[in-house]
Structure 1
Amino acid sequence: MTMLEKLVQQYPNAIVTQKPTEDQLQHFLWYQESSSNEMIGLPKSEITTNEANLIGLFLNKIIPVASSTHAAMKWDQYLFGDSNEMPLPDQSIFRFISFQLSQSNHYQEIVEPLHFVFSDDAVIVFRDATNGYVIELKSENSLTKEELASAAQALETDIDVKIQFFIGAFRSFGQQTKAELLQELKWFNESRNWTNRQTVITAEEIFPIVVLNHLSSIEKSFLFSKIFEAFQADPELSHVIRTYVENLSNASSTAKILYLHRNSLQYRLDKFSERTNIDLKSVHGSMYAYLACLEWEIKKAENVR
């Protein structure tokens, strides 16, 4: 039984939905699981402050906001409501860019600056006070990953707002469009806790996290136990290996990033390969080690929380 199902049992008047109504926004407290697009609303009249704080330890507390434009409302109805009407003309090429703010009290500060980041024909939709998405048509003015990263840095510098973007793929409308967009949003929700050091991420960058989320704890233990022994012996080794793989197994650039002498780096890489029997210079070996690094960092983060 999921956490949402348990809460529905505890609070029979709770509401599980992807798009609350205006009335529901006012009279319910809203929470969401990281891996789900659905939200649960608990009646404010039936929940104590202590209960609300306790639930907030297990679920993300969110502050829903009303869609501000007609275009935003049409997109929300298409993605999370009952509408099957595509809010764009046929043959349009577009992409879905999700975003998350670090704090809900930054919502009012960023609404106007965010419109300056994207072109005039882009539709910006806030799902709540920290999360939203942008529908961007493909054009010569479409932002590159580097341009979006620069915009995120400017927002943090100018108005002290941290924001993370997930760039989806450009696509045309088809029968599976809604499912594909919701899948991209689900991937972003599942991975953002482990990619928070990046301001802009793409589907190929979160793919390893998606893979890990589909492995059982038994499978992970079987696959990674020997690698984890090496990480336990050398607490910094997972960061070293991850950086090495992310830099295309280039020892010189990795040593420079880690402020290590190249010989020291090579010694640690060789010891890792000797202990685990993994060839870090092969595609399969480097990917195997990389997944282990991510899982190790996830486990460490969970222990801290």
Structure 2
Amino acid sequence: MLEKLLALYPGAFITDRPPIPGQEKFHIFHNEAERKWISIPEKSISQKEVDLLRAIYVQAEVPSEKLPPLLQQWKEYLFYGGKVPAGLEEEAVRLIQFEFLGENHDHEELEMAIKGFFSEDILVLWEGSGRALVVERGEYSLDERDLASMADAFESDFYIKTRIYIGRRLPVSDALPSQFREEQNYFDFAKKNISSEGYYTFEKVFPAYVSSLLPRPLAEALNAVFAEAFRSDDEMFTTVKGFLENGSNASLAAKKLYIHRNTLQYRVDKFTDKTGVSLKDFNSAFTVYLACLLYDRDRGTN
């Protein structure tokens, strides 16, 4: 239903979460059934039409905030189709998304904590009460493990469970906002479908995303080869999946799974005996990991 309104009101857009403030003024309506928001520019709609939409949807409070010019420019650019920030064309940036679970977070306190982890200056944009976006320019000052430790620190120091999506290094261009929206979609998918060790990346999310889009005949064909072996021994399945997720590194996987390396090797060998598939070959490992993701998804659904 909301999609039909887009054709009636130029400049309107739909979001899966409450929209953030911009320079242009909007009327915002929430479709509670679809869990979507539509923002309609004030100049595109009459008061009579606003009253009509109020009878159908919940009119949301228009967010407002005053930002420094640079932050406002980045917000307009990434979220509202604004111009590329002046002087930054083709400069590489990394966009890191944070989600803080719970309510009533102190933005100032959390922002200071985030900035304390980075050795270089960063920009922090807030998207609603519990979502923050870090714009990191220049060379990486933190690797993935450092960022994962941030999630642990927020949970231990602030008692806030935190999820992080680490974006790819991308050039500042007209394409960056749409690339960022793709990363937002991957983050939303990951939170619903993948257990996290504190952070997600494109490389961690994409295999599961692909498996979720496999046509049914392909998914059934893959399940027919491996699902029975997985069902027969849950410990073996967990071990094989953990082994592949840790780069087929037996020592690292055993540590992550809290089992002895010999136990891990025994279960991997048992899988090979049951299926005739060796995980030493890259193509075999990739196929089995895809089967693991499908089996895990179907098991969770059932």
Give yes or no for the alignment of 1:149 onto 2:148. Answer: yes
Give yes or no for the alignment of 1:176 onto 2:171. Answer: no
Gap change, CA 1:252 and 1:135, over 3 Å in 2:
closer
Is this contact kept in 1: 2:21–2:63, CA < 8 A?
Answer: no
Measured against aligned partners, the alpha-carbon deviations of 1:249-296 in whole angstroms (never above 9, x if no partner) come to 344544454344555433432332233332211111111111222222
What is the Cα deviation at residue 194 of structure 1?
Answer: 3.4
Gap change, CA 1:171 and 1:114, over 3 Å in 2:
same
Structure with higher Rg: it is 2
User: Which deviates more from structure 2 when the two are superposed, residues 106-115 or residues 70-79?
Assistant: 106-115
TM-score (norm 2): 0.74
User: Which deviates more from structure 2 when the two are superposed, residues 93-102 or residues 104-113?
Assistant: 104-113
Give yes or no for the alignment of 1:296 onto 2:295. Answer: yes
The residue that corresponds to 1:198 in the other structure is: 197
The residue that corresponds to 1:246 in the other structure is: 245
What is the Cα deviation at residue 136 of structure 1?
Answer: 0.9
Is this contact kept in 1: 2:97–2:165, CA < 8 A?
Answer: yes
**1:236 match: secondary structure:** helix
Give yes or no for the alignment of 1:97 onto 2:106. Answer: no
User: How far apart, in 1, do the equivalents of 2:151 and 2:277 lie?
Assistant: 38
Gap change, CA 1:33 and 1:251, over 3 Å in 2:
farther
What is the Cα deviation at residue 209 of structure 1?
Answer: 1.9
1:43-62 superposed matches below 5 A: 46=56
User: How far apart, in 2, do the equivalents of 1:232 and 1:67 lie?
Assistant: 56
The residue that corresponds to 1:110 in the other structure is: 110
The residue that corresponds to 1:122 in the other structure is: 122
Give yes or no for the alignment of 1:185 onto 2:181. Answer: no
Give yes or no for the alignment of 1:138 onto 2:135. Answer: no
Is this contact kept in 2: 1:78–1:84, CA < 8 A?
Answer: yes
Gap change, CA 1:262 and 1:89, over 3 Å in 2:
closer
Gap change, CA 1:146 and 1:230, over 3 Å in 2:
same
Is this contact kept in 2: 1:122–1:134, CA < 8 A?
Answer: yes
Gap change, CA 1:21 and 1:102, over 3 Å in 2:
closer
**2:99 match: secondary structure:** strand
Gap change, CA 1:252 and 1:134, over 3 Å in 2:
closer
User: How far apart, in 1, do the equivalents of 2:66 and 2:301 lie?
Assistant: 34
In structure 1, runs of 5+ residues without a counterpart are 9-14, 49-62
**2:287 match: secondary structure:** helix
User: How far apart, in 1, do the equivalents of 2:116 and 2:263 lie?
Assistant: 47
User: How far apart, in 2, do the equivalents of 1:99 and 1:87 lie?
Assistant: 26
What is the Cα deviation at residue 160 of structure 1?
Answer: 0.9
User: Which deviates more from structure 2 when the two are superposed, residues 212-221 or residues 244-253?
Assistant: 244-253
Is this contact kept in 2: 1:125–1:132, CA < 8 A?
Answer: yes
The residue that corresponds to 1:284 in the other structure is: 283
Gap change, CA 1:252 and 1:83, over 3 Å in 2:
closer
User: How far apart, in 2, do the equivalents of 1:222 and 1:81 lie?
Assistant: 43
User: How far apart, in 1, do the equivalents of 2:242 and 2:200 lie?
Assistant: 16
User: How far apart, in 2, do the equivalents of 1:71 and 1:196 lie?
Assistant: 35
Gap change, CA 1:45 and 1:120, over 3 Å in 2:
farther
Measured against aligned partners, the alpha-carbon deviations of 1:170-207 in whole angstroms (never above 9, x if no partner) come to 23333433332222222222223334422123222222
The residue that corresponds to 1:17 in the other structure is: 14
User: Which deviates more from structure 2 when the two are superposed, residues 252-261 or residues 242-251?
Assistant: 252-261
Is this contact kept in 2: 1:65–1:128, CA < 8 A?
Answer: no
User: How far apart, in 2, do the equivalents of 1:31 and 1:198 lie?
Assistant: 31
Is this contact kept in 2: 1:94–1:136, CA < 8 A?
Answer: yes
Q: Which amino acid aligns with 2:100?
A: L
The residue that corresponds to 2:257 in the other structure is: 258
Q: CA RMSD in A?
A: 3.7
Gap change, CA 1:252 and 1:142, over 3 Å in 2:
closer
The residue that corresponds to 1:269 in the other structure is: 268
TM-score (norm 1): 0.73
Give yes or no for the alignment of 1:166 onto 2:165. Answer: yes
Is this contact kept in 2: 1:100–1:164, CA < 8 A?
Answer: yes
**2:105 match: secondary structure:** helix
